[in-house]
Amino acid sequence: MSGVVAQRPARRRLELDERKRELLAAARAEFTARPYDEVSLDRVAARAGSSKALLYHYFPSKRALYTATLKQAAAELLTRTEPDPRWAPDERLRRGLEAYLDYAEEAGPGYVALLRGGVGVDKQVFEIVERTRERFISRAVAMMGVTDPPPTLQVALRGWLGFVEAASIEYLRHRRLTRQQLLSLLMRTAIAAVDGA
C-alpha cells in the first residue's frame, strides 16, 4: 500500500518530464519549419497535444522556448559528431563532417537558425553557438595531438569553422553541387588552413 502511494509522485513527475520533452520536440519542429516571428506558441502547444498554460509553465516566453530548443539542438549536434578515438585523424575529420552535414541537411533552416540565431542574436543565443564552436575547436586540437595550440592554429581552425558554416548554408540553399563535392572542398580547405599554422 505504501509502495503505491510512494509511486504516485514519481510517476506524475515522469509524466511531466515527458510533457516537457514533447513540448520541446514540437517547438523544435516549429522553429525548424518557419522563421522565428512566424512561430506561434498556440501551434506549438497544439502540436504537442498540450495546453498553452503548461507551455508557459515550462517556458516563460517564446524566447525561453527558443533558447531551450537551440541548446538541445547544439547538444545533439555535438553528440552526433563525436569522433571515435579509434579512427585515424583523416577518418575522424571525414566522418565528423559527414555527421555535421547529415545534421545540417535534416535540420535545414533550423541549422541556419542555430548559426545565425534566427531573428535575433541575443547574448544567450550567441553563447550557445559560441560554446558549440569552441567544443569543435577543442576536439580538432585534441585530434591533432596538440596540447598548447599556437595562436595561428586557433585562428586557422576558427576560420575553417566559418568556412564550413558558410559553405554548408550556401549548399543547402541551392543544392547545386553534390555532397561529395562539398565534402572534398571542406576537407581540402581544412588541410590548407591547418598546414603550416
Of the pair 23, 113, the CB lying nearest a second copy is at: 113
- What is the nearest approach in angstroms of a second copy to the Cβ of residue 129? 10
Cα distances from 112 to residues 64, 68, 108, 119, in angstroms, run: 19, 16, 7, 11
Of the pair 26, 77, the CB lying nearest a second copy is at: 77
Of the pair 142, 177, the CB lying nearest a second copy is at: 177
- What is the nearest approach in angstroms of a second copy to the Cβ of residue 139? 17
- What is the nearest approach in angstroms of a second copy to the Cβ of residue 41? 20
Cα distances from 101 to residues 26, 69, 93, 179, 191, in angstroms, run: 23, 19, 12, 8, 18
Give dist(CA 48, CA 187) in Å, integer.
40
Binding region for a second copy (CB under 8 A)? 116-122, 126, 151-152, 154-156, 158-167, 169-171, 174, 176-177, 181-182, 185-186, 188-189, 191-193, 195-197
DSSP E strand stretches across 104-168: none
With contact defined as beta carbons under 8 Å apart, do 95 and 87 qualify?
yes
Cα distances from 63 to residues 37, 111, 122, 126, in angstroms, run: 11, 17, 10, 13
- What is the nearest approach in angstroms of a second copy to the Cβ of residue 63? 12
Of the pair 8, 123, the CB lying nearest a second copy is at: 123
